[in-house]
Structure 1
Amino acid sequence: MTWDAAARVPADRLPELLREITTVLAWAHAEFGPLRGPVESGGLWDYDLQCERDGQLLQALHYDPDARQLSPLPGRLSGEHVSLTLSLSGSPTFAEAFTEHFGL
């Protein structure tokens, strides 16, 4: 299964959005971390996270499970909007745990 989420927020709401994404990725790493990789290559789960700021190129973001944060953290300029897209894919085992944990 694959879940896609996209959000475009004003810069002052970015910390809230980053916390939501960090919560999801922290859970996935805690429950299935060592089994991360493309499902078609035998992994149980994987993700792709992209950030786009007004007038800037698309930037890949990564979750650091040891630091429990995303990097690089997107900069925030007053009045700017930031778009984040998260694609999360997983095996049936991952999908069942994910939907149960997050009440989907």
Structure 2
Amino acid sequence: MHLDYLLFDSTDEPGGSCSFDALASVLPARMPALCEEIAAVLGWAHRSFGAPSAFEDADGWDFHLQGSGEHDEPLQMDYDFARNRVVMPPPRGRVTIALTVSGSPAFASAFSEAFAEP
């Protein structure tokens, strides 16, 4: 799957797990497209590996999503798995989003394949 806003860097963790970190900063007009990418990534993880589980099983995964507004004010945001969408108040000004997705070695391998950069 091609991503325009989320470019992930990976970090190997002790025990074989892996974390993928992305940071994106957009103006309000681009937030819907960025939120669609976040939903695509988290929706893929949920469909492929089940609910986030903080690595409780061999194929576990988890995520951390946070955002801040133009003047570094924190944004209340979350991901609604039932509706496959990011939930947040309408942005005012530039928004910076940080997304970390972590998982088992099996998750990391599948994630790398699904979201490989061209």
Q: How many residues align?
A: 98
Higher helix share: 1
1:75 equivalent in alignment to 2:100? no
Unaligned runs of 5+ in 2: 1-17
Unaligned runs of 5+ in 1: none
Q: Find the counterpart in structure 2 of residue 58 from structure 1.
A: 74
Deviating more after overlay: 58-67 vs 90-99: 58-67
Post-superposition Cα deviations, 1:51-101, rounded to whole Å, max 9, x if no partner, equal 101235323522212111112x23123xx1000000110000101111112
Which secondary structure does the structure 1 equivalent of 2:77 belong to?
Answer: strand
The amino acid of 1:51's aligned partner reads G
Percent sequence identity is 36
Q: Find the counterpart in structure 2 of residue 98 from structure 1.
A: 111
Question: What TM-score comes out, normalization by structure 1 length?
Answer: 0.83
Cα distance in 2 for residues equivalent to 1:60 and 1:89? 21
- Name the structure, 1 or 2, with higher relative contact order (CA <8 Å, separation 6+): 1
Question: What TM-score comes out, normalization by structure 2 length?
Answer: 0.74
